[in-house]
Structure 1
Amino acid sequence: MGSMRRALFCGAAIGGLAAVPNAALAQDSAAVAAAAEADNTPVIVVQARRQNESLQEVPVTVTAIGGETLQRYNIDQVADVTSRVPTLNVQVGGSGSGGQLSLRGVGSSNISAAFDSAVAFEYDGVVVSTMRMVQAGFFDVEQIDVLRGPQSLFFGKSATAGVLSLRSANPTSSWEVGMRGSYEFEEKGYLVSGYLSGPLTDTLGIRLAAQFNDIDEFQLAQAGSPAVNQKRGLTDFIGRLTLDWQPSDMFRANLKVQYTRHENDGALGTGEVSCGANGIADPIFLLGGAVQLPAGYDCKTHDQRYYFTDTAGPLAGGVPTPSKAAGRNGVPFGETDIWFGRLQFELDLNEALRLTSVSGLLNMKSVDFESYSYGGYIPGPNGTRLPGGAGSSDPINNLEQYTQELRLTSDLGGAFNFMLGAFYEDRTITFDTSQQGVNISFLGPDPVTGFTYDWDKTHVTKTEALSFFGSVIIDITEQLELSGGVRWTDEQKVQTISVPYVHSFLLGGTTFVRPGFFSGPINFADDNFSPEVTLKYQATPDFNVFASFKTGFKSGGIDNSALPSNSLSDAAASGDFSSLIFKSEEAIGGEIGFKAQFADRDITLNATAYQYVFKDLQVQNFNAQTVQFITSNAGELTTKGVDIEAKWRTPVPGLSFTSNLSYLDAKYTDDFLQPGGQGGFINLKGRRGSQAPEWAGNIAADWAIPLSDNLELFLSGNAAYNDGYITDETSLNDYVQPSFWLFDANVSIGHPDGNWKLSLVGQNLSDKIFVITSGGRPFLSATGDDLFLTQNRGRQIFAEVSFRF
C-alpha cells in the first residue's frame, strides 16, 4: 500500500484511464512502474480525500465516469449523468439557484439561491456556490466522480449529502488537435467543439478548448399557446484556457480560465402542468377572484408540448428600470454569463511534504424573465387567445465568489502520514427582482411611476467562511489502516433587504412594506466541528473492507426570497427578522463496505451499506394559494441503504459490463410540520423523503470490435431503472413518480486510436418522460389542485463525427 500511495503522491497517470490533474507534462515513469500491476490492469485515480488515490483502494463510496464514456454517449449536461449513478437526481432550470442536485434522497431546493447545495458541486477543485454551473453545459471533461454520503472533512461546508466532482482535461505531452461535430434530430440542435493541446516549451503546456451548442426546438408549444415564441431554444458557448507549468520536479502550477454564455427563451425549462385529481385546468385566480383567467393548458403532461404564455397586456409594460426585461413586452428570455478561474500549484517542500494551493474565482451575472402563473390567457376576438401570463418577474442573480484553500500533505514513507489545511471563502449574492405577486395592475398601472409591477426588491447576502481541517492516515499494520480527522468551520452571513418601489394601489393598508424600505443588516453566524474516522483492512491486494463514521455540516442563513407582504412586512413592523433565518443542516452516521477484484481483476465488486441522520434539513416550498415561499428546517431525515457496483471484463476481447444497484430507505423520523390540514399544519413524520427511490440501478455494456489494424467497431448500451419516488415535501399525498426505465445506445466506427470516428448516439431511446420535482401552481383558488412538474428531456438522437490528430 505504501508504494501505491507514494506513486500517486508523485502524480502518476495509471493505465491511461484517468490522467491525474495538473501533472500532464511530467509523468514519473518509476512511480507508474511501482503503482501499475504486472498485468497492466487499468487503475482509476480519484481524489476523494483530496489526494490522488486508486479508486479500488480509497475507503470512500465513489462512482467514477471517465471522459471517454461521456463523449461516447454525448453527455454534455450534468443532468445526463443520472442514468449512470443511481439515486443521483438533477433538476435544471428555473429561477433561484438555477438547479438542484440530490443524492440518496437528500438535496436542497432550487427555488432559493440562499441555500448552498447539500450535494457539493466541485469544479476543477473549487466548490462553486451556484447551480447555474449545472444549468450551463460542460465539455472537454477528463473525469466525473460522484462521492456518496457526507464529505465535510475534505470538501468543506456544503457536502452533507455528497459531492459531484468534475475535472476538465489538461494539456497533453505532445501536440494534439481534436474536433467534434454533432447534429441532434429530435430537438433540432447542433454542437461543435474542438481543442488544441500541447507543449509550448519543455516546461509549459497549453490547452485551448471551446464548444458551441445551439438547440432550435428545446421546447415546442402546445396548440393555442399565446406566445411570440412557439418554439423555445437555447444556446451555450463555453471557452476554456488551461496552462500547465512544471519548471522543476519540485513545483507545478495549473491555471484554468473559463467563460460560459447561456441563453434561452424562458426559465421554465421542460416543465408541464398537471390538472390534479379534479382533472380540470384550474383558472388563474387573482385579486381574490375579481380576475379569473382561463388556464389554457390541455392537462396532457407527457406529450412534450408545453404551454407558453407571454405576460398579459395589462402587466407587460412598465418594468422598473434598469432591467433587461424592459421593452420586451412580456416575452420570456434568459441570459447567464459566468467567468470561472482556478489557479492551483503544488510545491514539494522536500521528498516528504507537499504544499498545495487552490485559488478560485467565480463571477456570475444572470437574468431571466418568465410568467410564473404557468398558464392563463385573455379571450380575444373570433376565439383567439391573447397572452395572459401573471406572476411575472425579472430576477437578476449575481454572484461574486473568491475561495482559497491551502493543504500540507505528507508522504513520510512510514506508518504515519497527515494532511493539514485551511479554507477561506468570500461571497456576495445579489438577488434583485421586480415581481407581480398580487398582479394589481389588472386594475391599472402605478399612477406615479407608470410601472405595472407590484414591487421591486433587492436582497444582498454577504458570506465569509473560514475553516481549518486536519487528517491522518496511520498504517497500524501492513494490512490495517486507520484514518480520520476533523474540520472546524465558522461561517457568518449578513443580508440587507431594500424595497425601493411598491405599487401605489397596494399601500392602503399595513400588509405591505413602504417604498424605500431598508432592513439594515440581518446577521447569521454559526460554527461547527465535523469529525470523521475510517478503519480499512486490506485483506489481500485485491480485497479490502472498511468502516467509516462521518459527520456533515451545511450552514444556515437568511432567506432571500421573502416577499414584501406577510412575513417580510411583519418582520419590518416588529424589527425582528428571525422568521427569515433558517438553521444549519447537520448529518451524522456511518457506512461499512468492501472493494474486491477477482479472476485476475477481470471482475470488480464493490458494496457499501450506510445509515445517516440529517438534522434540520433545509427545505423551501411554495404555497400556491397564499403565493408565499415557505422556508423551514425538517426535524430529521434518516437514510439507510446499500450501494453495489460491479464490473466484468469478459473473456471476449473488448467486451465489458458495468452495473450499479442501490437500495434506499429515507424517512422523516421526527416532527416535520408543513402548512395545511387540521390545526393549520401537516406533520410529515414517518413519510418517505422526496427524490428517494427504494430501488435504482443500471447495467451498461461496451464492446470494441477490431475490424482491421486501422478500423474498429464500437457498440455500447446502458439501461437504467428507477422504481419511483415522491417529488415534493409538502403533504402526505404529494405527487409520486411511478417506476421507469431509460435506455441509451451508441454505435460508432473509426480508428482504434480515436484519430477519426463516426457515431450514432441515442439517449432515452424509449422517449420516457418522468417528473423530477413538483409544486403547487401559483394563483390557485382554495379548491384548485393543479401542479407544476419539472421533467426530464425526451429522446435525443445524435449523428456525430470527430477527428483527433
Structure 2
Amino acid sequence: MNARILFATTMLASGLATAALAAEETAASVVGEVVVTAQKRAQNLQDVPISMEVVSASALEAFHAEGFRQVSVPNMNVQNIGGNDVIYIRGFGSPSQNYSFDQAVSLYVDGVYAGRGRQFMAPFFDLQRVEVLRGPQGALFGKNTAAGAISVVSALPTDTFEASATGIYHFNQDGPELFGYVSGPLTEQLSARLAIKARDQDGYMKNAGQGREELTNKQFLARLTTRYVANEAFDYVGKVEFSQSRQRGNVTAAGLLTTEQTPRKTRFTTDGPLGEAGFDTIAWNVAGTGTLDLGAVSFVSVSGFSSFKAKHTNDFDQTIPGGGVTPHTVSNNYPEYFQQWSQEFRLQSPTGQRLEYILGAYYDNAQYVVDQYNYYGIAALGEFIMYSHFKQQSESWSVFGQGTFHATDSLRVLGSLRYSHTKKRGAFSVRSLLGPFPFRPITSANANISEGDVDPSITVQYDVTPDVMVYATYGQGSKSGGFVSNTYATTNATFVFEPEKSENFEAGVKSTLADGRLVLNGAIYKTTFDDLQVSTYNSNVQSYIVGNAAKASGKGVELSMTWYPTDNFDINATGAYQDVKYDDYPGAQCLASQPLTECNPSVPASVTANNLRGSPLPNISKWSGTVRARYVAEVSDNLQMTTTVAVAGRSKYFNSDDQSPLYGRQKGYAKVDARIELSPPEKQWHVALVGTNLTNELTTSGSFRLPVPVTTVSRALYWVEPPRNIAIEAGVKFCGASRAPPPASPLISRGAEAP
C-alpha cells in the first residue's frame, strides 16, 4: 500500500466525516476533552494554537510501543543508525553520528529537559500521554527546540487504591514482557505509585556466525512517584526512576551497491577485538514539581537530575552480497557517561482575566564524556585500533515570559520571548592503541563557547464560533553550537560548529463539530533554518564530516481527524505533506547521484565548490499518514470485544548521507497493526491478541556504503527495522472505592486522555 494512497485515504475519511454531519442527529458529546500542558498550563487541546498530536497511554499500550520508533505521527520520523535514535520533525533533526549534538527536537519528561536519548531507554513507561509539538518552541520550552518539542507525561498516583498487572509474550521475538503498578493514598495528604516493567526477548535477525537471534533484549525499569497535597494551595510531585538495559547483537545486514535496497533478516559476524556487539545502559532520573498558590499568582518549581552510563559496541555484517563472508575488518565501541542538573521556576497568573502571563527562569549544568575505539583489519596493512576521548562541560540559563491578552471574548493575542545563554567547554584527543594507523593523524583540540540567543513568538487566535478556532503564529527557535566529539583528525580549526536558528510561519484551524462527535484540525507552515547543523559520512575518507549548512527550508500541510459515528466505533486519521530542501549548502559532500564532472569526492577543491542548493534533505518523506479504527462489540452482558486496526505509512525517502538512488533510498510503505481484546466493560481483566507489521514490510532506518580499504569488498549496510510480530497479552486490574480527589495544579491536570 503506497503511503500517498494512505494520505489520500485519510483525506477521504475527513471528507466523509464532514458529509456525514447532515445525517448526524445526536446531542451526545463523545470525544472527551484532551488536556495538555503544551503552554505550561493545563488546557484543552482544541484551545492551543500549535500544530500538535497527542498520543494517549491506551493508544501506546495497545501495540506495545516503548519508544518513538513505534509511534506514528505525520511529519515526525525516527532514524536509528549505530545505536542512537534521532527524532525528525517537519524534516529537521540532528544526525546521530556526532555524539555531542544537542537535538533539534527536544524531549521533556515530566517537565525535565532530556538532551540525550539514553537518559530514557523506554520513555513510554506508565504514562498519561505524549505531546508532539511541531515547529520551533523556543519561547516557552527554550532548550534546543529549533524543530519541535516532545513532552512525555508520566502517570500520577491515584486518589484511590488501584493496581494492575499485565503479561505479554512475543512469539516472533520469542520472549516475555511484564508490567505492573500499584497506586493509591498512603495518608490523607500523601499518595504514591510504584510501577515496574521487565522484558527478556530474542531478536528478529538471525546471526549465523553467533548462532543466535539478535538483538536480544533484557530490560528492567522501576519508577516511584509520590504526590503530597497539603491543602488546596500546595501540591508537590516527586519521581525517582531507574532503568537498566542489556542488548546483545546488532541489526546491520549487508547488501549490494548496484541495486535498490534489499534488506534481509540474516547476517554473519564473529566477535572482534573490541568484544561482543551490544548495548548496555544504566540510567537514573529524579524529578520534582511543586505548585504553590499565592492567590494572585501561582509559583511553580521543576527540579531535575539525570545520569547514565552506557557502552555500545557496533559490528557490521561480514556477509559478501552474492556469497561468502569477509574477515572481521571493522568495529567500534563507545563508552559514554552523562550527568545533568536542572531547575526551572515560574510565576503564573490565574486564567480567566484580560491579561494572563507566565514568567520564568531556567538553569542547567551537564557533563558528558564519550570515548571511541575503532578497530580496522586491513588485509594489505595489518590491524589497527584508534582511540579518541571527548569531554564536554556545559551550562545554560534563560529567562522567559508569555502574555495572553484577551482583546475580546473571541480574540486573543499571545506574545512570548526567551533569552538563553549557553557556555560549553570541550576537549578532544586521539591516540593509536595498535598501529600507527596510516589514514588518521594523531590530533587534539580544545575550545570554549559562550553564546546568547533570543527566541520570540507572536500568535493571533480567534474563535470563529465556540467550537471553531483559527490562529496564525510566527516563532523562532535556536540550538546552541558545539564540538565535534568522535571524528578522527579533528583539530582546533574543525572542532567547533556554529549554532543554528529557525523561524516558523504557521496558520491553523481547530474545530469540534457534530455535538462533539467530530474533531477536525489542520495547519499550514513554512520553516526556515540558518546554519543547519549537519553530519555526513564521507566514504572516501571513511569519516563523518560535521559542520553547518548555510540555509534550509520546509513547507507543508498537516491534518487530523477524530470521529465517533456511534458510541462504540471511532476513527482517527492524520495526514501530512512536506517539501524540505537545502536553500544554500556550499562545501557539501558529494551525492551518489552527482557525476564526477560535477563533484569528485577525491578532489578537495571539487567538494569545496559543491553546493546542494535545491536538493532534498535525507530522512524526509513528502507524504505520511495514519488511519486507526476501533470497534467495541457486546458479546454478552458482561463481556465485550474491542477490535483496533491501525495503518501507518510514508512515501519514499533517502536514508543514506550520500542519497544514493539505489542502496540509499527506502521505498514508500504502509504497515498494518491489529489488536483483538476480550474484557468485561469495566476492564477488571483482559486478554488480547496483538499483531504489528502484519504485512511483514521489511524496511531500513539507515544505510551507508562501507568502503575499501576498511573492508575487502565495498558493500551497502542497512539497519533493518522489526518485521512482523505476534503477541498474546493478558492483564488484571484492581480498583478500590472512590473518594474526593485532591485539587489539580495549574501544571498537573487530571483531565481526560486523548481518544
TM-score under structure 2 normalisation? 0.87
Specify the SS of the correspondent of 1:600: helix
Q: Aligned residue for 1:789?
A: 718
1:41–1:77 distance in 2 versus 1, CA, 3 Å: closer
Aligned residue among 360, 363, 367 for 1:428: 367
> Does structure 1 retain, via aligned residues, the 8 Å contact 2:386–2:434?
no
Q: CA deviation at 1:228?
A: 6.2
**What letter is aligned with 1:738?**
K
* One-letter amino acid of the counterpart of residue 547, structure 1: A
Alpha-carbon distance in 2 for matches of 1:537, 1:510: 62
Of the three residues 602, 608, 614, the one matched with 2:523 is 608
Residues 1:493 and 2:493 aligned together: no
Match among 526, 541, 545 for residue 451 of structure 2? 526
2:264 match = 303
Distance in 1 between the 2:261 and 2:613 partners? 33
Work out whether residues 274 and 788 of structure 1, in 8 Å CA contact, stay in contact via their aligned partners in 2.
yes
SS at match of 1:49: coil
Question: Could you give the per-residue CA deviations for residues 29-68 of structure 1, whole angstroms, max 9, x where no partner exists?
Answer: xxxxxxxx99475100011111111001111111111111
1:557-706 matches, cutoff 5 A: 557-563=482-488, 567-568=489-490, 571=491, 577-650=492-565, 652-676=566-590, 677-678=599-600, 679-681=605-607, 682-706=610-634
Q: Which structure has the higher relative contact order (CA within 8 Å, separation 6+)?
A: 2
Post-superposition CA distance 1:256-297 (Å, at most 9, x none): 11111111113x4x33233111x6xxxxxxxxxxxxxxxxxx
Mapped to 1, the partners of 2:388 and 2:263 lie a distance apart of 36
Q: Alpha-carbon deviation of 1:783?
A: 12
List per-residue Cα deviations over 1:56-101 (Å, max 9, x = no partner). 111111111111111222222321002xx11211134625xx2111
Alpha-carbon deviation of 1:363?
0.7
Residues 505-540 of structure 1, C-alpha deviation per residue, up to 9 Å, x if partnerless? Answer: 428x89622xxx764x41122211000010000121
Counterpart of 1:473 (choices 387, 393, 404) is 404
Structure 2: which amino acid aligns with 1:680?
Answer: S
C-alpha distance in 2 between matches for 1:698 and 1:421:
37
Given the alignment, which residue of 225, 236, 243 partners 1:242? Answer: 225
Would the alpha carbon gap of residues 764 and 41 (structure 1) be closer, same or farther in structure 2, given more than 3 Å must change? closer
Aligned counterparts, 1:3-402, within 5 A: 39=29, 41-82=31-72, 85-92=73-80, 94-95=82-83, 98-133=84-119, 135-136=121-122, 138-221=124-207, 225-227=208-210, 229=212, 231-266=214-249, 268=250, 270-277=251-258, 301-311=262-272, 316=273, 330-350=275-295, 352-372=296-316, 374-375=317-318, 388-402=327-341
Q: Residue by residue, what CA displacement relative to the aligned partner does 1:151-206 show, whole Å, maximum 9, x if unpaired? A: 11111121111112211111111111100001111111210110010000111110
Q: Which residue of structure 2 aligns with residue 321 of structure 1?
A: none
C-alpha contact (below 8 Å) 2:30/2:516 kept by paired residues = no
Per the normalisation by structure 1, the TM-score is 0.82
In structure 1, the partner of 2:21 is: none
Instruction: Describe the shift of the 1:246–1:498 C-alpha distance in structure 2 as closer, same or farther (beyond 3 A).
Output: same
CA distance in structure 1 between the aligned counterparts of 2:313 and 2:660, rounded to whole angstroms: 33
> Gapped runs of 5+ residues in structure 2?
1-26, 591-598, 735-755
Rounded to whole Å, the distance in 1 between the matches of 2:173 and 2:131 is 29
Shift of 1:106: 0.9
Query: Given that residues 150 and 159 in structure 1 are in contact (C-alpha distance below 8 angstroms), is that contact kept between their aligned partners in structure 2?
Result: yes
Displacement after TM superposition at 1:700 (Å): 0.8
- RMSD over aligned CA atoms reads 2.5
2 CA distance for matches of 1:101 and 1:304? 25
Q: One-letter code of the match for 2:472? A: A
2:447 aligned partner, one-letter code: I
Q: For residues 276-319 of structure 1, what are the alpha-carbon distances to aligned partners after superposition, in whole Å with 9 as ceiling and x for unaligned?
A: 11x6xxxxxxxxxxxxxxxxxxx9833322333322xxxx2xxx
Unaligned residue ranges in structure 1 (runs of 5+): 1-36, 280-298, 317-324, 378-382, 445-451, 572-576
Match of 1:10 in 2: none
Q: Which residue of 1 aligns with 2:749?
A: none
Tell me whether 1:457 sits opposite 2:388 in the alignment.
yes
Residue 623 of structure 1 aligns to which amino acid in structure 2? N
Contact 2:243 2:282 in 1 (8 A): yes
Distance 2:479 2:149 in 1: 13
Alpha-carbon distance change, 52 to 504 in structure 1, aligned in 2, over 3 angstroms: closer
Q: Check conservation: 2:388, 2:486, Cα contact below 8 A.
A: no
Instruction: Report how far residue 733 of structure 1 moved.
Output: 4.6
- Going from structure 1 to structure 2, the CA distance change for 1:48 and 1:672 (only over 3 Å counts) comes to farther
What is the distance in 2 between the residues matched to 1:731 and 1:369?
Answer: 26
**SS where residue 263 of structure 2 aligns?**
coil
Could you tell me how far apart the structure 2 residues matched to 1:210 and 1:51 are?
29
1:118 Cα deviation from its structure 2 partner: 1.1
Q: Tell me, in whole angstroms, the C-alpha distance in 2 between the residues paired with 1:134 and 1:413.
A: 37
Residue number in structure 1 paired with 2:24: none
User: How far off is 1:400 after superposition?
Assistant: 0.5
Shift of 1:728: 3.3
Q: Say if 1:511 and 1:100 are closer, same or farther in 2 by CA, change over 3 A.
A: closer
How far apart are 1:637 and its partner, in Å? 1.4
Contact 2:119 / 2:308 at 8 angstroms: preserved in 1?
no
Give the Cα separation in 1 of the matches to 2:439 and 2:696. Answer: 51
Q: Tell me the distance in 2 between the aligned counterparts of 1:764 and 1:443.
A: 45
Relative distance call for 1:194 and 1:41 in structure 2 (3 A) is: same
Post-superposition offset of 1:432:
1.6
Contact map agreement 1:624 1:780 (CA 8 A) in 2: no
Q: In structure 2, the residue corresponding to 1:553 is in which secondary structure?
A: strand
Whole-Å Cα distance in 2 between the matches of residues 672 and 600 of structure 1?
A: 54
The CA deviation at 1:670 is 1.4
